[in-house]
Structure 1
Amino acid sequence: MTTRAERRPNHRLASLVEEAGFSHAGLARRVDQLGAEQGLDLRYDKTSVARWLRGQHPRGIVPMLLAEVFTQRLSRKLTAEDLGMAGCRPDYAGLEYAAGPGEAVEIVSGMWQADSARRPALAEASFTPGALVVPSRDWLIGAGDEDPQRAEGVRVGPGDVVAVRAVGEAFRRLDNSFGGGHARQALVRYLDTEVTTMLRGSYNAAVGRDLFAAAAVLTRLVGWMAYDTGVHGMAQRYFVQALRLAQASGDRSLGAYVLTTMSRQAIYLGHGREAVQLARVAQQGALAGATPRVRVLLYAVEARGHGLLGDVRACLAALSRAEQALAQASPEIEEPDWAAYLDEAQLADEYAHCFRDLEDHRKAREFAERSLRLRGTEYTRSRLFCSTVLATALLGLGELDHACGIEAEATESAEGLRSARAMDYVREFSHRLSPYRDSPAVRDFAERTDPFLCAAAS
């Protein structure tokens, strides 16, 4: 922490305050207002601004909020570093939305390097709902970068991009079957060594677009793995940078995919309002040119947010739009590789989760059973999640023994899965069994699931 003796007047901030014509009270009020828009209860005043001008750095994401205030007032992109607050960087590193492709590479490669070296700052970062607004807005209004191309460094060709995509597909399969805890560090090392070198190499515009898209997919995946293992601040930062890489690629559907991933994390952490907002931003930015399966994703994730908020009408309307989109899917329509999983089994799973949140046990059971019938066995984690939704519905319908049997069988089928989310699903169901703890079915369930919980926690 900076001591009083070490502080120096912040001349950069003072210059910007003068240029923008802010009074100290006016600047404090605008920061409070922007924070309130993002769910933060800030109470700064003119004294706070005076302290900042003397060299004190506000905590958390407030430097980013300040930068956003000046960006809006002066109509040019400003960062916390521009405000003379580079010393705050560890508090929000990774949440910055780069001004261009070159800066995006520097930010994300720095994260890969820090993660590969297991530096604690990234792993210990906290999830910040208020930091979701600026990146999603910047992606939405961004007209796309100039074609990313470079003339220096090792030559990168189409075959190199194909290799990156193949690596991503292999890690995606590992994640689906065994959870994010098995191979995340291996993927980080690949990004830190191979992909960083490619992004800093030489390539033409066409290869550059494809390379940035492939890097975005892998960055989203490594964030997804962090999310699956419960490291939510790190995951959020990877998602923000994956969104920036997707923008550089010019692929709006890919950017929307990343935003829906951010929305899913918000749902998991209980931030329904933010989840709906992210899903709708994704729709605004990509719906016009989206393929049917991409539209399924955009509407289904919005429905999940409404379900969490208990908004039955909005939830069912979004699910209906997702179902209509899936009906338009056809083998003749070329879909993104990452959208292949958006099939009838996945949509039934989304329905089941929504009805669980809406406490409609009969509907949740119906759709969970449908999803499990259709879902491939290679989707170990997804099958466990859906089985837990089914067991929860059965419990709500008074079928205690059946519910315990379904959940116990699901955990036994998920042997080897390393996923904090999977553990949370099983533990949350176990908590629902508390009123029936003396039942033989519950005692048998506890005995059968204990090996899974112990192994998943190791």
Structure 2
Amino acid sequence: MGVSVHPARTANEELAQLIEASGMSHHALARRVNVLAEQAGLVFSYTHTSVTNWTRRGMIPRSPVPAFIAQALAEGLGRPVDPAEIGMPEIRESPRQVGLDFPRDAHEAVRTATRFWSTMHRRTFLTAPFAVGAYSTPVTRWLAVPADPDAAHLGRYRVGRQDLDALWAAAAEAQRSDSKYGGGTGKASNVTTFLNERALPLLRGHYPDAVGKELYAGTAELARVAGWSALDMGHHSLAQRHFIQALRMARAGGSLSVGCHVLTNMALQSTLRGYPDEAVDMAQGAYDRARHQAAPRVLAFAKLIEARAHARLGDARSAAGALASSERLLERADSEPGDEPTWISYYTPARMAADAVEIHRDLGLPAAALRWNNRAEPMPASAFTRSVGLRMTVLATAHLQHRDLDQALAHGQRAVTILSQVRSTRATDYLAGVVRDMAPWHRDPRVAHLSHLARKAIAFSRTGAVA
């Protein structure tokens, strides 16, 4: 008998509904699947209990059994049935392509997300390369049509306020954990399990348009947090897939604010991966498409990331213009709070100033970078451990540009101390950058000592073990 690929631990409502519509009993369906398998030269002995496992426990038998189930139901319904329609999508495309699609149809988008979120444990996603070109179609389609016309869906389980609140709460908690401890922590990484086991079943439920729009938007934010956590751990191909699915869910929910935020995250990832030119286009597109509907703070963050991309290109004038726009929008957000989403509350004037330090460091303007640092308010390491550690690494390199080794060592030492508590490949990459930039002073014993401590912190962050 075929062994299930994984226990989803959630009921397969689609399959249950189609079995009921076909008029087949569980006994009859199991017998027909066995017959179809025998005709294909395979021997199975499925029973009514097997069908119950498929419907109530969400177990998925190995290929080609989902195709046999779909065929049996098609005979009863008198129409074609695809395995994806019964909640058992067959992965026909290469594993490296899973999660990169951006379907025009919302229902197909849910099936695409199901294929990805139910197979994202594959090591293929962790080892596949980041491809900025994979963002081309998703970005184009979202910019052209950022909202689907109707988010209503018919299903057995009625989605309510409690379900929606649980989605937003899970995303907020994962974001807090990620900010404090890095993307490698349990709460941050387990959001992917929540997506698969809680969000997807809700998307198959029963809800009117208004509820559906918020459900899709909440799912998009969950996927964005999952993507950011993967990015933070250096799993850029996995992050890219989460971001694409998040953008598609935002479109299904008609949420320009969420979509703008997701696209801005995609722009930042592209900048970090060495594609600042493409990142400028993404950040500008995110801002322009949402400028008349998104909250000022959301738009301000898009302008900040545009400034960071310009800085990586060495375009000081454009970076200054985007940063000034971000500052004006933040001032507007603080003076006219309005209806602002809670998930963007992290972007404050202090955060902007901290990023401005990095922008001017990247532009090779250390004096300006240090002036911006004086404007940045102290952030408690207890609440923003990774963010404070990253800021210390940027300050260290800015001081090196200023030829001030003593200050660079002081900030580098603090960065090592703080980031030793974090599981974040991105943070350790920044720390490694400090060590590289100190190469001209390698004969100084203080530099050698800091390099040794940095290597230990990097080893711990990436493996959880002390070097």
Q: State the superposition RMSD in angstroms.
A: 1.7
Q: Indicate conservation of the 8 Å contact 2:396/2:411, yes or no.
A: yes
| In structure 1, C-alpha distance between the alignment counterparts of 2:336 and 2:223, rounded to whole Å | 28
Partner of 1:55: none
Which residue of 383, 395, 402 maps to 1:397?
402
Q: How far did residue 369 of structure 1 move?
A: 4.3
Q: Indicate conservation of the 8 Å contact 2:96/2:125, yes or no.
A: no
Q: 2:384 corresponds to which letter in structure 1?
A: Y
Listed one character per residue, the Cα deviations across residues 256-314 of structure 1 (whole Å, up to 9, x for unaligned) are 10000000001101101110010111022101223221221121111111100001111
Listed one character per residue, the Cα deviations across residues 71-91 of structure 1 (whole Å, up to 9, x for unaligned) are xxxxxxxxxxxxxxx965433
Partner of 1:234: 238
* 3-state SS of 1:363 partner: helix
Partner of 1:138: 141
Farther-moved stretch of structure 1 (258-267 vs 146-155): 146-155
| In structure 1, C-alpha distance between the alignment counterparts of 2:420 and 2:135, rounded to whole Å | 35
| In structure 2, C-alpha distance between the alignment counterparts of 1:269 and 1:354, rounded to whole Å | 16
Q: Indicate conservation of the 8 Å contact 2:357/2:372, yes or no.
A: yes
1:169 counterpart = 2:172? yes
* 3-state SS of 1:277 partner: helix
Within 5 Å, give how 1:86-235 maps onto structure 2: 88-115=93-120, 118-142=121-145, 144-183=147-186, 184-235=188-239
Q: 1:280 corresponds to which letter in structure 2?
A: Q
1:382 counterpart = 2:387? yes
Listed one character per residue, the Cα deviations across residues 224-280 of structure 1 (whole Å, up to 9, x for unaligned) are 111111111111111111000001111101101000000000110110111001011
Q: Indicate conservation of the 8 Å contact 2:379/2:388, yes or no.
A: no
Which residue of 279, 287, 300 maps to 1:275?
279
1:426 counterpart = 2:421? no
Structure 1 unaligned residues grouped into runs of 5+: 1-85
Q: Indicate conservation of the 8 Å contact 2:98/2:115, yes or no.
A: no
Q: How far did residue 372 of structure 1 move?
A: 5.2
| In structure 1, C-alpha distance between the alignment counterparts of 2:139 and 2:176, rounded to whole Å | 28
Q: How far did residue 331 of structure 1 move?
A: 5.8
**Percent of matched pairs sharing the same residue:** 33
Q: Indicate conservation of the 8 Å contact 1:126/1:234, yes or no.
A: no
Q: How far did residue 370 of structure 1 move?
A: 3.3
Q: Indicate conservation of the 8 Å contact 1:372/1:387, yes or no.
A: no
1:336 counterpart = 2:344? no
Q: What number of residue pairs does the alignment pair up?
A: 371
| In structure 1, C-alpha distance between the alignment counterparts of 2:243 and 2:128, rounded to whole Å | 14
Listed one character per residue, the Cα deviations across residues 36-81 of structure 1 (whole Å, up to 9, x for unaligned) are xxxxxxxxxxxxxxxxxxxxxxxxxxxxxxxxxxxxxxxxxxxxxx
Structure 2 unaligned residues grouped into runs of 5+: 1-90
* 3-state SS of 1:114 partner: coil
* 3-state SS of 1:373 partner: coil
Listed one character per residue, the Cα deviations across residues 158-194 of structure 1 (whole Å, up to 9, x for unaligned) are 1110011111111111101110011244221111111
Q: How far did residue 341 of structure 1 move?
A: 1.1
Q: How far did residue 376 of structure 1 move?
A: 6.3
| In structure 2, C-alpha distance between the alignment counterparts of 1:143 and 1:325, rounded to whole Å | 22
Q: How far did residue 156 of structure 1 move?
A: 1.0
Q: Indicate conservation of the 8 Å contact 2:216/2:250, yes or no.
A: yes
Within 5 Å, give how 1:246-257 maps onto structure 2: 246-257=250-261
| In structure 1, C-alpha distance between the alignment counterparts of 2:337 and 2:122, rounded to whole Å | 47
| In structure 2, C-alpha distance between the alignment counterparts of 1:173 and 1:412, rounded to whole Å | 20
Partner of 1:77: none
**TM norm structure 2:** 0.76
Partner of 1:347: 352
Partner of 2:441: 436
Partner of 2:294: 290
Q: 1:314 corresponds to which letter in structure 2?
A: S
| In structure 1, C-alpha distance between the alignment counterparts of 2:275 and 2:359, rounded to whole Å | 15
Q: Indicate conservation of the 8 Å contact 1:400/1:441, yes or no.
A: no
